[in-house]
DNA sequence: CTTATTGTCCTAGTACTAATAGGACAATAA
DNA sequence: TTATTGTCCTATTAGTACTAGGACAATAAG
């Protein structure tokens, strides 16, 4: 299946899985109506407790990305994929503005912050899809 | 004093304070040789346990931003302000990297995130330069 | 209807971290 | 000496992450 966890990470297992499902939806590997693995199956596959998977699905349901039905399973909601473009852009815009605010607080000139951003961009996209495991 | 905490935050109290001291150093509100409040005094002022403050100072000492002497107090190290440029840059770099990670999670291409950043930069600095229509 | 599947709810327990609480101590300053 | 200060120590509380498994209702398949 698509999911894997790192038991040594400081990030909680359920959070790792929530992020992975979100990423799968963001990259269209999971689409509206797609069914996710049954809680017990995925738990067995990842060798973790079924309650941890239940927490993952219920968190995603709380955020509106999934819906779950007893006896049927858990599915990617229409909402999840429809709303995503606008929400994504808003979230990124907010992050950028916070960054620029802090740069100004630090008396960075426009040229300085542009230079730093350019540097990180170059570094980030040097190897296209390599997993950047920077810090933990 | 300069510090305040939010007991309802998910971020631990000691982490909030570590961040605030770093911010104060980065913005030169705290400079080399400046003395920080005694552990017991600051704890009383913030109504938290003195061990929590001790943890804050020892963490900052571990990072080289402070030095502590029994009977004297805790002080911003020379290194601390020498490093302030570096600290600022590190904080900005961290923000940029988080931004790029999220953009990638959202399946933004390098060109898309560059475009969004450029837009916010122009808006933020009311750019009077003639924008190069390189890749839009 | 019967049976298996599935998500949900529930209690109980373990492990870890954040934080509290306060005693004891050594270095320092007055 | 006496008070201040950071440090070290143990004990305790509270919350979160996770495990473990029982019980249940909705659903689907026979």
Closest by CA position to B89, among listed A25, A113, A26, A5: A113
Of B26, B107, B124, the CB nearest to A26: B107
List protein-proximal bases of chain D (any atom < 7 A from a CB).
3-10, 16-21, 25-28
Determine, for residues B96 and A116 on separate chains, whether the beta-carbon distance falls below 8 Å.
Answer: yes
Of A110, A121, A125, the CB nearest to B125: A110
Q: What is the pLDDT of residues B101-128, one digit of tens each?
A: 888 877 789 999 999 999 999 998 876 5
Q: What is the pLDDT of residues B2-46, one digit of tens each?
A: 799 999 898 999 999 999 998 898 888 999 999 999 999 999 999
β A73-76/B35-36 pair status: unpaired
Residue B46 or residue A101, greater confidence = B46
pLDDT at A28 over 50: yes
| Spatial separation of the C-alpha atoms in residues A24 and A22, rounded to whole Å | 5
């Amino acid at each position: 299946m698509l999911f894997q966890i790192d038991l040594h990470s400081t990030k909680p297992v359920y959070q790792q899985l929530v992020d992975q499902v979100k990423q799968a939806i963001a990259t269209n590997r999971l689409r509206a109506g797609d069914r996710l693995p049954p809680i017990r199956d995925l738990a067995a596959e990842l060798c973790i407790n079924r309650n941890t998977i239940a927490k993952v699905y219920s968190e995603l349901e709380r955020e509106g990305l999934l819906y779950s039905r007893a006896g049927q399973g858990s599915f990617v909601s229409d909402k999840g994929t429809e709303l995503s473009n606008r929400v994504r852009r808003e979230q990124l815009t907010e992050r950028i503005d916070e960054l620029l605010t802090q740069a100004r607080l630090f008396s960075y000139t426009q040229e300085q912050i542009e230079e730093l951003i350019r540097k990180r961009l170059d570094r980030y996209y040097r190897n296209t899809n390599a997993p950047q495991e920077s810090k933990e």
